[in-house]
Amino acid sequence: MLSFVYCFDQNYKFQAETAIISLLENIDEKVNINIIYSESSLSLNNTITSHKYLNKLNISHFKTNRYTFPNLEGVHVSEATYYRFFVSDYINDECDYLIYLDTDIVCVNNPLPFLKKEIKNLKNTTYLIGASTEYKFDTQIEEFERLSLDGDYFNAGVLIINYAEWQKKQIGNSLLNHMESIKKTIRYWDQDVLNSFFNGDYLEISNLLNYSTSTQTDYKSEYKEITEKVFFLHFSGKIKPWYIKGTDSKVAEVYHRNYRKLNYKNYHLTYRNRKLDTYDLLKLFLNLNILKLDKKFHFIIQSLKTIVRI
């Protein structure tokens, strides 16, 4: 039985629930879900907790305050992005392999057969993790020079972890020590720490398990491929589908369709800035991208409520 882990804080609760329900709704067998959360209690949507494919749910409150996590001031991520370093402290699930997923990742198609194939590949290597490559080694890309890398650079949004070996070798402690040693060079948070630590020593997995997209791009030519072939769609970058600006793309509806399964609202929209949000809403009308939305009227009403913060 496969085991998944999500790490998030209270500001990402709805995003995390959307990510989790998208997984449960696309699979065909039971899985375990592990959560490392910033607060002492977390109440998840009943659609998740009562789901037929949820075998076991383990929610842990992150308690460690001994570390100052680098490069968090004035950015769009929280310290929860570093919680994965502590999985050995909170996850007692008796599994040999653990699958980590960011909360801005939506499951589009059943990933379990493909994940099992990649786990089998990982098992036949000495690697501790499997990840999707973001940049092949290139000295002209700043990540390689800044982190002194001589191997490829992976995106850490999806990780397949050899959890038995991870625990045995106390990788979490090693990552924390390494984080302290390179904290002045860290730009992309835990992803930089992981890449600096492993330095290309990972199994390259298919990007269908971590298909990075930006809602700033329409992806007209790729939309059909995304919905038919991609397993995990990663809304990477600063502009997310839960911003009014982030809905300026047909692919953003993939996120909101899964959010609707939680029976909250038709759209999950969060406030950024009244002036910017108003401008972004008007732009949706002017460029006719409002026509791409599934539920246009509901979107307009929720956008206006978001702007005036009702």
Q: Is the pLDDT of residue 32 over 70?
A: yes
Residue 219 scores a pLDDT above 60: no
Q: Which of 141, 115, 119, 140 is nearest to 128 (CA)?
A: 119
- Which pLDDT does position 256 carry in this prediction? 97
Q: Is the pLDDT of residue 64 over 80?
A: no
Start-end of CATH 3.90.550.10 domains in the chain: 3-209
| Angle, vertex CA 132, rays to CA 187 and CA 13, nearest 5 | 65
In the three-class reduction of DSSP (H, G, I as helix; E, B as strand; rest coil), residue 99 is classed as strand
Residue 235 has pLDDT above 70, yes or no: yes
Separation between Cα atoms, residue 168 and residue 173, nearest integer Å: 11
Tens of pLDDT, residue by residue over 118-165, are: 999 999 999 999 999 999 988 788 989 899 899 999 999 999 999 999
pLDDT of 218:
56
Q: What pLDDT sits at residue 259?
A: 98
Q: Which amino acid belongs to residue 54?
A: L
Between CA 89 and CA 166 the distance in angstroms is 12
Between CA 235 and CA 246 the distance in angstroms is 10
For the record, the structure tokens of 296 come out as: 């246009």
Pull the structure tokens for residue 1. 């039985």
Q: Architecture of 3-209 per CATH?
A: Alpha-Beta Complex (3.90)
Rounded Cα gap, residues 215 and 252, in angstroms: 6
Predicted local distance difference test score (pLDDT) of residue 221: 63
pLDDT the model gives residue 71 = 64
pTM of the predicted protein model: 0.94
Average pLDDT value over all residues in the chain: 92
**CA 208, CA 35: separation in Å to the nearest integer?**
24
Please give the average per-residue pLDDT across 220-237, as a whole number: 86
Q: In what order do the strands lie in the sheet with 211-213?
A: 105-107, 232-235, 211-213
pLDDT band at 214 (very low <50, low <70, confident <90, very high): low
Averaged over 28-54, what is the pLDDT?
A: 96
pLDDT attached to residue 73: 67
> Is the pLDDT score of 217 beyond 60?
no
Predicted confidence (pLDDT) at residue 216 exceeds the cutoff of 60: no
The CA distance from 221 to 212, in Å, is 15
